[in-house]
Structure 1
């Protein structure tokens, strides 16, 4: 299939509607019936303003987080329509990709 890989970038302590934003995104993807999403924690990043975000031994609140999904063009449109309606503020990268599944589930 052809579509997009969409990667959202945020950090652990960002919240939206009472949930950590990464978890909120995972639930939204599931609610929309998309194939799935992966949440990845990073070690360190910096934002547009130059502020460094990193995971510390005693404090993970500022840890960088990525949420990755692979979607068709139609699914991407539904996702972005919903995000706009929710009014959530997120940075993302949307890259054209080919994706699929190999082999059988066991």
Structure 2
């Protein structure tokens, strides 16, 4: 098992932008830049942002829907990710917990080779 951290970042809503991208797209790019392969984006029905403002997904206002991005990785990569996100200047609330993690199954390239006719 690999030890590291699970990081959950909370974006106030999907309409916030950074470098002509949504904040979520920008966060996912930053995750990839530090070499972490995999993250989960969860759309949340309601939430309160880092400024204390209430946000909710409504039928006509889905751009105000809160989003959470969860990622796990080795601590050096998580530290680099946090530093990069902080340098980006976007205000994000996050939680961090110690975890053990591993990947199950065979690598994709081996699996694909086996299923070819």
Specify the SS of the correspondent of 1:97: strand
Normalising by structure 1, report the TM-score.
0.87
CA distance in 1, matches of 2:101, 2:39: 14
Q: Identify the match of residue 39 of structure 1 among 37, 41, 45.
A: 41
| Superposition RMSD in Å | 1.7
User: Comparing 43-52 with 78-87, which one deviates more in the overlay?
Assistant: 43-52
Structure 2 gap ranges (5+): 112-117
Structure 2 CA distance for partners of 1:23 and 1:64, relative to 1, 3 Å: same
> Are the equivalent residues in 1 in contact too, given 2:50–2:92 (CA < 8 A)?
no
d(CA) in 1 for partners of 2:43, 2:64: 11
Q: How big is each residue's C-alpha offset from its partner over 1:35-66, in whole Å with a ceiling of 9 and x where there is no partner?
A: 22111101111235543211111221110100
**Higher alpha-carbon deviation: 80-89 or 58-67:** 80-89
Q: Normalization by structure 2: what TM-score?
A: 0.80
Q: How much does 1:13 deviate?
A: 1.4
> For residue 6 of structure 1, what is the aligned residue in structure 2?
7
Aligned pair in 2 of structure 1 residues 32, 54: CA closer, same or farther (>3 Å)? Answer: same
| TM alignment of 1:5-84, pairs within 5 A | 5-10=6-11, 11-47=13-49, 50-84=52-86
Q: Which has the larger radius of gyration?
A: 2
Q: What are structure 1's unaligned runs of at least 5 residues? A: none
